A = this chain, B = another copy of it.
Amino acid sequence: MSACDTCLVRNRAICSSLDNEEIKALNAIGRRRNLTPGESLMWEGEDSVLVANVIEGVLKLSTGTEDGREQIVGVVYPSDFIGRPFGSTSGHGVTALTDARVCVFSRKDFDAFAREHPSLEHKLLQRTLAELDRTRKWMLLLGRKSAGEKVASFLLEMSERLVQPGCIDAPDLPLRRFALPFSRQQVADVLGLTIETVSRQFTRLKADGIIDLPSRREVVILDRAGLAAEAG
C-alpha cells in the first residue's frame, strides 16, 4: 500500500488525474516531508531542484529586494502545487507558515513523469491558469486599493480559502471565524503595507463592529456585508 492511498488530498491535488498504477509510479519518485513554521522548502533565485504538493498546512511564496523589503507573492494551501517545473530557477522562496506536510519530488523526475502523463499536465495547467487568475486579481489590490480596502479584501479571501475541505455536507461556505496563519508583519508583506498600518486597520474594523479579534491570530467576521463594502 502506497502512502498515496491514505493521502488527504489524493482526490483534489493534481494526482487526481492518475489511476492506481500511475499513482504508484509517482509515489515511487516522491517522498513526504514535514515542515515547521518558518522552515523553508526553497529559496528565491535558487536552482529549481524540487517541486511538491501541499498535503497539509499553509505556506507562503515570497520575494524581496536587495535592501530587505519583502513581498509575499502567493499563499498555498492543501492540494496546491509548489515549485517551478520545466524551469531552471525558482523566482520566490517557499516557507511554511504553519506546521505543514508536503509531498516532494525532484524536479527532473517530476518533469519526466509529467511529460509522459498528459492528464497530469492538464491538471497542472488548470491549476496554473487558476493561480494566474488569482494573482492578477491581487495586482488590482496592490496597485489600486487603499489600506482599508486591502485589509478588508484580505480578510474576505482568508475566510474563503481557509475552509477545511472534506466536509462534503457544507459546500465550502466561507468561514465566520478562523485563525490567521499570518503574523501582522506577514499580513503587511502580503498587502504591501507596513505593520502599523495593518494594525490600525484591524483595530478600526473592530471598533466599527465589522470584525472581532478574540486573540492575536483569530478573526471573527461579524458583518460580512460590511466587510465586503469596505473591500471596495
**A interface with B by C-beta (< 8 Å):** 61, 63-67, 69-71, 73-74, 84-87, 91-92, 115, 118, 121-122, 124-126, 128-133, 135-140, 142-145, 191-192, 232
Contacts and interface: CB of A to CB of B under 8 A. Distances in A.
26 contacts: A61-B136, A65-B144, A66-B232, A70-B144, A71-B139, A71-B144, A73-B139, A84-B129, A86-B125, A87-B130, A91-B133, A91-B136, A91-B137, A118-B122, A121-B122, A121-B125, A128-B132, A132-B132, A132-B135, A135-B135, A139-B139, A139-B142, A142-B142, A143-B191, A143-B192, A144-B192
A136 B74 contact: yes
A192 B141 CA distance: 10
Contacts of A139: 63, 71, 73, 135, 138-139, 142
Given A128-B132, A129-B128, A135-B135, A140 B86 contact: no
A85 to B, nearest CB: 7
- How many chain copies? 2
Contacts of A130: 87
Nearest to A89: B133
A69 B144 contact: yes
A63 to B, nearest CB: 5
A87 B129 contact: yes
Contact of A128 (B64, B70, B125, B137): B125
Nearest to A143: B192
Contacts of A84: 129, 133
Contact of A63 (B71, B85, B128, B137): B137
Q: Which of A129, A136, A144 has the most CB of B within 10 A?
A: A136
Which 4 A/B pairs are nearest by Cβ-Cβ distance?
Answer: A143-B192, A118-B118, A142-B142, A73-B136
A61 B142 CA distance: 16
Contacts of A125: 86, 121, 124-125, 128
Nearest to A149: B65
Given A71-B139, A135-B136, 6 more contacts: A63-B137, A73-B137, A86-B126, A118-B118, A121-B122, A143-B191
